[in-house]
Structure 1
Amino acid sequence: MTSTFDTLAATRREFLASSASGLGGVALASLLSSDSPAAITPPHFAPTAKRCIFFFMAGGPSHVDLFDPKPILNNRDGQKMPDSILGATEFAFIKRDKAVLKGSPAKFSKRGDCGIEYSNMIKQIGNRADDIALIRTVHGEQFNHHPGQLLLSCGKAELGRPSIGAWLTYG
């Protein structure tokens, strides 16, 4: 009778064969890396940014109230939630017969020379509009906050992925 350890244990010949192909693959990748279109190349010009500050305000006011005006949502404030949004999914905290759309109470105005809209709730940040890169293109299919937070910081909505901070720190 063979044990699990005997089945999983590699012979010396198997180990050397698999190691050699692994090392060969690494060597080949190294040789071909300079020809790759994805190879690391120096920038076309010296970067001007010296620092990057990433605001992640979990528990703070909603992005819809601070950075992301939704005029159509505000126009439909108080109306019944459309079935096209709810679909056939059952949600723990949303009752279909009582679900209504909720617009933002914040007022938005164009700020800086760039004219980007910021909430009047954060006038100090809006005053720096020309110095800030505001990203409004992140989109996810997740309905709950936590998977969306993972998507924002890790690029995937699952646990166990490195965050943007890890990539910036460790490469």
Structure 2
Amino acid sequence: MFHDPASLSRRAFLNRSTVGIGSLALTQRLMAESSGSDRWTGAVEPHFAPKAKRVIFLCMAGGPSHLETFDHKPKLAEMDGQPMPESFTKGQPIAQLQNKELKCLGPQHQFQRFGKSGQMISDQFPHIGKVADDIAIVRSMTTMQINHDPAHTFMNCGTQISGRPCMGSWIQYGLGSESEDLPGFVVLTSVGGGQSQPIATRQWHSGFLPSRFQGVQFHSTGDPVLYVGNPNGVNRDDQQQVVNAVNALNRKRNELVDDPEIATKITQYEMAFRMQASVPELTDLSGESQQVLDMYGAKPGDGSFASNCLLARRLAERGVRFIHLYHRGWDHHGNVKGGVETTAKLVDQGTWALIEDLKQRDMLKDTLIVWGGEFGRTPMAQGTGRDHHIKGFSIFMAGGGIKGGTSYGETDELGYNAVIDKVSV
């Protein structure tokens, strides 16, 4: 039996519930939520102790080419410039190459083996290569959406239909937050590298779950979180009085109507007040050693992917459950060789440093890291670039119980179709 959390009130839940003790336990959690006084600790208790306590999703927005990153295809190199066999493409969904002459474009970068496991990785990722034995590469990903925004929605929500909760919201709803002073779901977007592709805020929306479970975007430059600071002339004590007064009114109103969104507003006001102290402490990197800054290649305040990877580690240390870091700039319809070279340099060191830093702090074992985009790129040329591709692409994962130094699944000899152990988004 499925219950829409957004439609539940305490009384309605108790009146409708027929599934016994388990429902009563959940009701107590929902009642605590409605009071606005307690940190959300999750909807259910897991049957088994989870190996991952938190997730860091390093989203390579734009669709990185698997053929220049993690899927080595010597046969495609042999067929460079030759017509793409029709047996691969006939009747297949193609984006901007529809009704055009299709020719193979060989891999634009060399691959080499890394680590004791001998993982085949592009030479554009020398730093990630150093943790080859810690990552598991999935080379058989598929998706159903060939354009960016719906593909992100499908990746984040499991459907292309807008209005469903994203995975960060579900994870926070199910497992709760470990932080009293920061949101359980934080979104970061890095700058640099000619990134122009927009990322819609609905990608971190809570859908039909209460809005307290949606992601909170931290900005890379300027104020990290908008509208959290006190207005000019208002000190912290004055602001506390305002928050207390507003929440007192909200609680009186909630006693009458028992609305989950009013309870959400109460917790949001309280969280925003606490964030006035916690966010400056979080973003102040003066306590980080120069060795750590150099490890990431981070320059505090520059909004780069490297700096955001360091911030992601600090968020994880403080109990944030789901951290979604977007790095745009992978949409290489032209000049895929130069584009991958440029973008890889922006993300390679920070990705390695995050994995290595978490490992050194004994946090990698219970932090799941996911690295990948919304789809891949075609083996066929689009000028000097590659078009969108949904039939086969690569991601990798690390930590959180993942077996490192392994690969899963394969695409065909040209990197077009996932043919062994397909994994659907």
Aligned residue for 2:68? 65
User: How many angstroms apart in 1 are the aligned matches of 2:69 and 2:93?
Assistant: 29
> CA, structure 1 residues 96+163, in 2 after alignment: closer, same or farther (shift >3 Å)?
same
SS in 1 for 2:59: coil
Structure 2 distance, partners of 1:147, 1:78, is 32
Q: Give the paired residue count.
A: 141
3-state SS of 2:121 partner: strand
State the SS of the aligned residue for 2:17. helix
Matched residue SS, 1:166? helix
Given that 1:106 and 1:120 are in contact with CA atoms closer than 8 Å, whether structure 2 keeps it comes out as yes
> Which residue identity lines up with residue 41 of structure 1 in the other structure?
H
Aligned mates of 1:27, 1:51 — CA distance in 2: 30
Q: 1:167 to 1:109 in 2, by over 3 A?
A: farther
The 1:156/1:103 distance shift into structure 2, 3 A limit, reads farther
**Structure-2 residue corresponding to 1:78:** 81
Name whichever structure is richer in strand by fraction. Answer: 2
Matched, 1:27 2:20: yes
Among residues 36, 54, 58, which one is paired with 1:55 in the alignment? 58
User: CA–CA distance in 2 between the matches of 1:130 and 1:68?
Assistant: 17
Rounded to whole Å, the distance in 2 between the matches of 1:68 and 1:157 is: 27
Which residue is equivalent to 1:150? 153
Q: Deviations over 1:2-37 (max 9, x none)?
A: xxxxxxxxxxxxxxxxx96x422x438749xxxxxx
Counterpart position of 2:108: 105
Q: Secondary structure at the match of 2:141?
A: coil
Equivalent residue number for residue 8 of structure 1: none
Unaligned stretches of 5+ residues in structure 1: 1-18, 32-38
Which position in structure 2 is the counterpart of 1:41?
47
* 1:137 partner amino acid: S
- For residues 39-77 of structure 1, the C-alpha deviation after alignment (integer angstroms, 9 at most, x for no partner) is 94123xx74x66643221114742321122233333332
Structure 2 CA distance for aligned equivalents of residues 72 and 158 of structure 1:
38
Q: Residue 79 and residue 143 in structure 1: after superposition, are their counterparts in 2 closer, same or farther (change >3 A)?
A: farther
How far off its partner does 1:125 sit?
1.0
> Cα 1:59–1:88, aligned 2, differ >3 Å: closer, same or farther?
closer
- 1:117 aligned to 2:95? no
On the 8 A contact 1:108/1:118 being kept in 2, the answer is yes
Counterpart-to-counterpart distance in 2, 1:146 and 1:103? 28
Q: d(CA) in 2 for partners of 1:90 and 1:68?
A: 21
How far off is 1:168 after superposition?
3.0
Looking at both structures, which has the greater relative contact order when contacts are Cα pairs under 8 Å and sequence separation is at least 6? 2
2:99 counterpart letter in structure 1: R
Gap regions ≥5 residues in structure 2: 1-13, 25-44, 175-425
| Whole-angstrom distance in 1 between the partners of 2:129 and 2:140 | 19
Shift in Å, 1:124: 0.8
Cα deviation, residue 111, structure 1: 0.9
Residues 104-151 of structure 1, C-alpha deviation per residue, up to 9 Å, x if partnerless? 211111111222111101111111112233333322244444444333
Is 2:121 the counterpart of 1:127?
no
Bigger radius of gyration among the two: 1
Q: Are the aligned partners of 1:138 and 1:152 in contact in 2 as well (CA < 8 Å)?
A: no
Let me know the Cα RMSD of the aligned residues.
Answer: 3.4
8 Å CA contact 1:110–1:117 kept in 2: the answer is yes
CA contact (8 A) 2:80 2:104 kept: yes
Percent identity over the alignment is: 38
CA 1:117–1:89 in structure 2 vs 1: closer, same or farther (change >3 Å)? Answer: closer
Change (3 A) 1:30 1:56: same
